[in-house]
A and B are shown apart, each in its own frame.
Chain A
């Protein structure tokens, strides 16, 4: 494996959880809901995924548990914000705090446990391609899943009637309601999808990225995924670009440290957070305001009846 291949491979590994989480959140926000609980859902996915994988000895059961955990968390959010029309910002924060705590409780017995990371899945023929073959087609199943998600979400949002309806709910829930669309039900599905993606992204961290569980291991990735959605102007392909930009920066940072660059490790570790701020600044100053945000984003909807 060449140096280039190795770097490309690690970039993909670092970017995949961000991409999966961001694409889920993108769908949620396109439906008009702002779920700031990404970090909490993701870390719950990591904890439950790891616990289930250790207990069952099967990684795929771990993955399913992580998805279930993310969806369960998002269901709490849905009950609060859709059922009770609670403030979405506060509910999302509560979800993050709750998830960080609960994941610590669930993960406590598993601190120190190690397991082998999930096997890679070489696609025949394609993985033998020179240079990019191993990096792109010799990956773990999550990477393929993340690409499939981007394509699927793009196709769903732009090419299907249900996707159009979902976007309509995000643009004007009042109009969607007037046409007879069940706005809250559609948003519920979007929130659950976002939760499933967040859980999956969390599972990636504890089952593939590292061979162990550690409390707080998401380290702000849920929040960065939220920033990626803004950075991407709510478009799936741009979310992919954004996720890989952030993943690339994380890896760059690691390689720079490995290569003995004389910068404090803390400065390097701060880079993704700093880049998040800078990316938001650039995208906002270029576009001048949140023009491309769904018009109903974050506004609670209570149908009269």
Chain B
């Protein structure tokens, strides 16, 4: 415990959004030069708290004190003036603007962009975080984008640096690089508020930890004195059941076979796929690891049929060439799909759950007879999914957006698992959901595979893939490494692949070609 006056002291912070109390009398003390972890599940109120510390939100009650002096932060500009910098989880960057323009926007002076660019180069070189100021952001990788956010904080000589889930988008090797940078920043006397739910990381780099649950502080501790399991229990409030999973390897013929799939991304900022080979066998979970933006969206779209392939034979499903078949053709052959975006892709936010059941099942579940929708049928399906997957909701048939992230994810996964698909392709199955829902979904995926279905999981969460996948491949710049059995696979080896080593010279990438 630091005995000196805290650099930043938040006391009794309350923030309400309508009926929801996001922060309920939260106290937080960050000492000078300390690396402080803010731990909590999704929805525990971490993001709200840091937005208050950065001046983006104003608390309904409670006070902030900076070096013992009470302050009110009316805007991020004031926070920056005090020396508070923030690295956002979903970067606050402008894709069509250059790196220098992006940095200039976060600086409060009237320094011309050209001068910003010069200073940017010198700071980024000093910290070993190279950046080209003239590049437009959409051309950069996720790691480079994070670098912009860090460098632009460093250019303001910060006293407190806030990082929101910084490693969730990085490869293990990039994470090591980030830790080295953080160590250096700390050595220069800057305090760091580190928001994460990766407990091993927190135990490794943080001096203190404040743990939030349902908007309240439940504990403050020294993470090095705790185990990952005890931290997890404080976060979740109960013991988390690990997924029951023993890796197996199936010898059955693949249900899905992809051969030499190449695809131009329709998104001008997207990633082209190039020469993808993949087999997914019944009884197994195949995982695809990779850093965001390496072609995961395009691969999902190609496999689901949202984008059609150039030749039918490149995708063989249940022995049939389906590269030219739309998504419902593939569903009728026994495939099911769960995309990454819950709201807007997997489900229509303002439509009811029964309409959302119709959305995915109108071709396969007998919901439609001669053009007419069987409304009781879709409602009945909702009831079954809700019962089987423990979906918590108010009314019987609410709008999809009324559900919490975890409950909606259980619904969109459940609505397809319940029809016993022979192949399930799911992208980011537990992204941004609470630990209970995540555990339930992972177990359901494992059970589905054990019941004889082929399962393909595309995920950026390496821990998740090591927990449930039987084989694993890595996607990088639109190319896919051969899948290898997870048992005996080293994290470091996967991390190297995620960073691109072993792929040879890159090619066919929209953002490089443009």
| Contacts from A to B (Cβ < 8 Å) | 161, 164-165, 167-168, 171-172, 174-181, 289, 291, 294-295, 304-305
Contact = CB atoms under 8 A, between A and B. Distances in A.
Interface residues of B, number: 25
B96 A295 contact: yes
A171 B110 contact: no
Nearest to A304: B17
B56 A178 contact: yes
A178 B97 contact: no
Interface in B84-128: 88, 91-97, 101, 104-106, 110, 113
A179 B106 CA distance: 6
B55 A180 contact: yes
B97 A171 contact: yes
A294 B96 CA distance: 9
Contacts of B94: 167-168, 171-172, 175-176
Nearest to B15: A305
Contacts of A294: 96
B304 interface: no
Given A180-B79, A180-B80, 7 more contacts: A168-B101, A175-B92, A175-B93, A176-B94, A178-B92, A180-B56, A294-B96
A168 B55 contact: no
A294 B95 CA distance: 10
Given A161-B110, A164-B105, A178 B88 contact: yes
A168 B97 contact: yes
Given A161-B110, A171-B96, A180 B105 contact: no
27 contacts: A161-B104, A161-B110, A164-B97, A164-B101, A165-B105, A168-B97, A168-B105, A171-B94, A171-B97, A172-B93, A172-B94, A175-B91, A175-B92, A175-B94, A176-B94, A176-B105, A178-B76, A178-B92, A179-B76, A179-B92, A180-B55, A180-B56, A180-B75, A180-B76, A289-B268, A295-B95, A305-B58
Nearest to B76: A180
B77 interface: yes
B386 interface: no
A176 B97 CA distance: 12
Nearest to A292: B96
A180 B85 CA distance: 12
Contacts of B91: 175
A289 B267 CA distance: 10
A168 B94 CA distance: 7
B508 interface: no
Closest 9 CB pairs of A and B: A180-B76, A178-B92, A175-B92, A171-B94, A180-B75, A180-B77, A171-B96, A168-B94, A172-B94
A161 B17 CA distance: 33
Nearest to B79: A180
A161 to B, nearest CB: 6
A177 B56 CA distance: 8
A175 B149 CA distance: 12
B105 A171 contact: no
B57 interface: yes
Contacts of A181: 105
A171 B76 CA distance: 19
A165 B88 CA distance: 19
Nearest to A172: B94
Given A178-B88, A304-B17, A305-B58, A171 B104 contact: no
Nearest to A178: B92
A42 to B, nearest CB: 29
Interface string B314-341: 0000000000000000000000000000
Contacts of B55: 180
Interface string B43-66: 000000000000111100000000
Nearest to B96: A171
Contacts of B113: 164
Contacts of B79: 180
Contact of B95 (A164, A171, A179, A289): A171
Nearest to B106: A179
Contacts of B268: 289, 291
Contacts of A295: 95-96
B49 to A, nearest CB: 14
Contacts of B76: 178-180
Nearest to B22: A304
B94 to A, nearest CB: 4
B92 A305 contact: no
Contacts of A305: 57-58
A295 B57 CA distance: 25
A177 to B, nearest CB: 8
Nearest to A293: B96
Contacts of A174: 92
Contacts of B97: 164, 167-168, 171
Contact of B105 (A179, A289, A304): A179
**Max chain A C-beta neighbours (<10 A), residue from B57, B80, B96, B113:** B96
A304 B75 CA distance: 14
Contacts of A167: 94, 97
**Max chain B C-beta neighbours (<10 A), residue from A164, A168, A180, A291:** A180
**Max chain B C-beta neighbours (<10 A), residue from A168, A179, A289, A291:** A179
B111 to A, nearest CB: 8
Nearest to B48: A304
B226 to A, nearest CB: 32
B362 to A, nearest CB: 28
Contacts of B95: 171-172, 295
Contacts of A289: 268
Nearest to A296: B94
A180 B57 CA distance: 10
A180 B268 CA distance: 29
B329 to A, nearest CB: 27
A272 B110 CA distance: 44
**Max chain A C-beta neighbours (<10 A), residue from B55, B58, B92:** B92
B163 to A, nearest CB: 14
Nearest to B73: A180
A137 to B, nearest CB: 33
Contacts of B58: 305
A83 to B, nearest CB: 19
Nearest to B108: A180
Nearest to B74: A180
A134 to B, nearest CB: 40
Nearest to B86: A178
Contacts of A168: 94, 97, 101, 105
A198 B80 CA distance: 39
